[in-house]
Structure 1
């Protein structure tokens, strides 16, 4: 029998874990032709998330967990889960139940038809403000025009990945991650299914506009250098018009005798050019900061505990052990 791992990143999700487990248990029990591993990644939760997961494991041997040493963020939690997943396929789902577990049988069906990446696309986004919907739509339109990689719009992390997709993602060890783009970057045979996204079942969202802005910047700087090119192009255009304006001032002063404008126009031009320079330096700084972080070559995460066992401070110790067992 094939094994399917259901991967659930969790950060302070004590209010919703019971509902999530109940619905996932119904789904898993309804597909007896597969073995299931329900793998939780506790991303440094400060509430009772870990103790709830441990109690689930005591009742259900299908439950596994990876407890990270601190909060590393959802993107890192997902790669930690992929490193430890034992299944022939991995289904990533959020703990908040906005993505319905009842879609899992359909995902498995298409996987058996030969698709490697079965991703769920939202038809509607219940519970989200019009501003968040509009900014999300605008962001993906901009990102799509800036990169050559087809980034899927209105899709999240809810998807089924074949083992070869998982192995491909595990090779991408960059520290600053934009997993939604990585799903597209690795390629393979993809299948889209549509669903209506539900509001959050319980608890509070961990995504504020500041974190969403950080994620948007990660997406742009991870998959395109267009901002650097645009800043260079903008500088060339401004320099051209500045040169033409300089010629105009010289000609007007020498031939017509019109005095050169003074302080107000001079300050306007200086402040405008200074702002453009700071924007360009900021764009360069974003890319330079990414280079700085990547050259440190630090491990992506540390595991504090894995299935009731204290982990060594080696990122790949358990990963290598699980990989050998799987092979």
Structure 2
């Protein structure tokens, strides 16, 4: 049954470390702690599983870090890592998993805004612990309460992402997952600077089981994700996992080259047969402007790929730590930094 182990199954035991990225979430961290214990604490205890929360402060500018210090001091099942500045959610998830691997038998990722229902944790954990899968992942099957334009573009993104990359990225897929240690180790082996975790989760393989739920609105505060930041994130994901845009540029270039050769032949034959001078300066300017626009767009796409190469070859760490609190496992990076290319 959801929320507890199913009848006849052996409780998994061990510990579950939940990684919780935070950025300017002073109003939600305390609420998250209370809610996850109320919704899943007793069920996990019945499964003989110790729950531990590992918050990752992504360089927040509000009182998030202060609230995390208070939580860690008051509760032994809370720890945190804090960055020197904002490195982004992808870096926060990597850092959290890297540090959680040293203290957990099973690992999970959840958003702090409670749009990922904590009540799903026990059944997701049971699926992983039973050996059914190495990752139990959550996906929302509705977008109630979300702006219509944002929902439409999100659905379009998942279709484009799956079609262009060959990865089975589900519509409505969340980062919310419960994972085995070997799954997390495989993800952490992928140390690229430009990360798209939803794609990485699919790319590493292993068996995945999906748990569906209805959309839940934020418990408190405002999201830091604007429409344009989400659009940029989607573009990052496509560029990180496919060269299809470059192949598309080549295909379009070949088509337009063929058309131009055909038009040259038509104009030449027309001049021979009728002796007409070629007219139509307005249409010529339209064609020229169209060509310039397409070339500029093509150069922009190539530039995006080159920029990703540039950021990768610099070999900078994914994040820099400023502070640790509570029980935190050791990461693979140097002191004060982590997640850089090896």
TM interval, short-chain normalised: over 0.9
Per-residue deviation at 1:140? 1.1
Change over 3 Å in CA distance of 1:135–1:18 after alignment to 2: same
CA distance, structure 1, for counterparts of residue 282 and residue 248 of structure 2:
29
How is 1:138-287 mapped onto 2 (pairs within 5 angstroms)? 138-287=156-305
RMSD of aligned residue pairs (Cα, Å): 1.9
Unaligned runs of 5+ in 1: 321-327
Match of 1:77 in 2: 92
Equivalent residue number for residue 8 of structure 1? 20
Match of 1:61 among 52, 76, 79: 76
CA deviations over 1:42-88 (Å, ceiling 9, x no partner): 00011111111111111110101001111001011000101100211
Of 105, 119, 129, 1:112 maps to 129
Give a deviation string over 1:173-206, Cα, whole Å, max 9, x none.
Answer: 1111110000000011110111112111110011
Q: What TM-score comes out, normalization by structure 1 length? A: 0.93
Rate the CA distance shift 1:300–1:80 in 2: closer, same or farther, 3 A.
Answer: same
Q: How many residues align?
A: 318
Distance (whole Å) between structure 1 residues aligned to residue 127 and residue 334 of structure 2: 32
Moved over 6 A (4+): none
Q: Which moved more, 1:146-155 or 1:91-100?
A: 146-155
- Contact preservation (8 Å) 2:83, 2:322: yes
Give the distance between the partners of 2:42 and 2:323, measured in 1 at CA.
Answer: 28
**Equivalent position of 2:7 in the other structure:** none
Q: Where in structure 2 are there 5+ consecutive unaligned residues?
A: 1-12
Aligned-residue offset at 1:308: 6.6
Displacement of 1:316 in angstroms is 3.9
Distance (Å, rounded) in 2 between the aligned partners of 1:244 and 1:93: 57
Matches of 1:29 and 1:189 in 2, distance apart?
A: 28
2: CA distance, partners of 1:67 / 1:143: 32
